[in-house]
Structure 1
């Protein structure tokens, strides 16, 4: 007797760690954004999917919320460099120009200040 199996290629991709953290906390993207310093659901979605650079402040907030299971060094090259880590995880392909720090210490385009006027 053969065991039922899933058709090849039908399995869903793994949930990114930031999205899994939010799901484990049982909160919405808006609530998660408020905890990590992002103002919009769209910004949270981009960060969860690794499609936007993460500011040092946001990366540290995510690390704290995850009790260290998500390493801020994997999310932000500035933190990785400061910690002497020679790698950046999901956001390794981020354009360093997008990581320009604003006076508030947030990443331009993903800070609460930058989004307040949006």
Structure 2
């Protein structure tokens, strides 16, 4: 699920940058959030690479990226949500980002633990 979600995020941010250039988010996000959204073009595929290689660092990076991404999206969507609370229920946008972020945070500890647990075949003293 991590790979699918972060690949989708990579694609979405790449499309935004192809359409609007480096200032694709300037119309609705303050500069620090613009920098974050642009940086996701690098961070999202880095998560995919590290998690795909079963690196625990990938899980930690995924968690950090999603915390920042969800907070940033709530900040930029807050005015629209105040005007129309139904905005949250749209199938594209804030709802899937929030749900995926919650999934990443909820699964990060067990996934990290599984990635750092020694493989049963690698136990010392097994005569291998």
TM over 0.5: no
TM-score by length of structure 2 reads 0.33
Q: TM-score, normalised by structure 1?
A: 0.34
Bigger Cα Rg: 2
Higher helix share: 2
